[in-house]
């Protein structure tokens, strides 16, 4: 990630993105530089329009509409049990 930050800093300051400039930024930030990574990064960025990539990456995303839930009061109706059916249920428990 440090390498990308170095590239973004160079881009922001309108400096040329070269191996030497990336190494200078990283070294001044106290980062140990891997020459192979720097070389690969410069080669990868050669054909990329950084300004265009930044604008595409930072496009605002519309928030999904929040559905407002309307709470419906749930009416729990107790089943009506007659005394006879209750007695039948109890008698089946006790034989």
Task: Please indicate, yes or no, whether the overall pTM of this predicted structure exceeds 0.85.
Answer: no
Helical segments of 1-95, H only: 2-12, 19-28, 35-45, 50-57, 83-94
Domains of the chain: 2-57 (1.10.10.1410)
Q: What is the pLDDT of residues 7-63, one digit of tens each?
A: 999 999 999 999 999 999 999 999 999 999 999 999 999 989 998 888 888 666 666
3-state helix, strand and coil shares in percent for the chain, rounded to the nearest 5: 55, 0, 45
The span from the CA of 20 to the CA of 22, in Å, is: 6
């Amino acid at each position: 990630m440090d390498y990308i930050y170095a590239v973004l800093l160079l881009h922001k300051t309108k400096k040329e993105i070269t191996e030497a400039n990336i190494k200078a930024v990283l070294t001044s930030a106290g980062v140990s530089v891997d020459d192979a990574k720097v070389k690969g990064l410069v080669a990868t960025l050669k054909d990329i329009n950084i300004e265009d990539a930044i604008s595409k990456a930072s496009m605002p995303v519309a928030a999904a509409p929040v559905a407002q839930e309307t709470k419906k009061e749930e009416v729990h109706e107790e089943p009506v049990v007659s005394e006879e059916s209750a007695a039948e249920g109890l008698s089946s428990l006790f034989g």
